Amino acid sequence: METGKLELILGTMFGQKTTELILKLKKFEHGSNYEVQLFKPTIDTRYATNEIVTHDGLRMNALNANNASDIVDQINPKTSVIGIDEAPFFDSELIEVIKRLVYDNRKIVIVSGLLYNFRNEFFQFSDGQKDMSDLLALIPDEIVYKKAFCKHNLRTGEDCNQETMMTQRFMPNGTVAPYNDPLIMLGKENITPEEKANLKRTYSPRCREHFKHYDEVLRK
């Protein structure tokens, strides 16, 4: 009897996590006897509403889910392989949903998401009850860590380019975002253009040397 399997694709922003997810799913799609479904959080409308799209334009059709239980409600009984993008944007119920899909329903589940937040802490799920370390505790069959290159500009004018798993968040004026900045900036509705501009944040990969840690000064 075919057994379930859990694969995780974890890393930093700009590490090509979604690219890896799409390529894995398309490989199953092109194989025999595999029905594939891909899910994304409804709040993620950055590039498209019914697709996931990478920074370099690779795309794949996806179903929107408001929460983890919404994923279960939309699964086709014939589906063998389930992809889940941007895992931390779902609620903590995602942990139990994945366990049931893998252990009880014997599905192949491939999950992609940020491992750490901009504070360099395990990324919490949207309800704050659990974090990505709980996903690691499910003992996945495979983990792919996707790194990016540090974009800190050196005095030579070149980027540092050390591989890293950390991402720094910056405010519109270029300063490091405060520790108490909201973890998830997506899904803000009914706001003025000025408020929208104030919500804009930029992100850049930073290595251990160039990541500005949130010590007591930056926490204030």
Which residues are known catalytic residues? 86
Sign of CA dihedral 181, 187, 190, 194: positive
Q: What is the DSSP letter of 4?
A: P
Cβ-contact 187, 179 below 8 angstroms: no
Structure tokens at 40: 């994304």
Report the C-alpha gap between 90 and 42 in whole angstroms. 9
- The SS3 assignment for 7 reads strand
- Asked if 101 and 7 count as a contact pair (C-beta separation under 8 A), the reply is no
- Residue that has been written with the tokens 């998401």 in this structure: 113
The angle formed by the CA atoms of residues 206, 182 and 97, to the nearest 5 degrees, is 90
- Residue 217: its H or E element: helix 216-219
Question: For tokens 């983890």, what's the residue?
Answer: 68
Q: What are the residue ranges of helices labelled H in 75-192?
A: 93-99, 132-136
Q: What distance in Å separates the CA atoms of residue 55 and residue 98, rounded to the nearest whole number?
A: 27
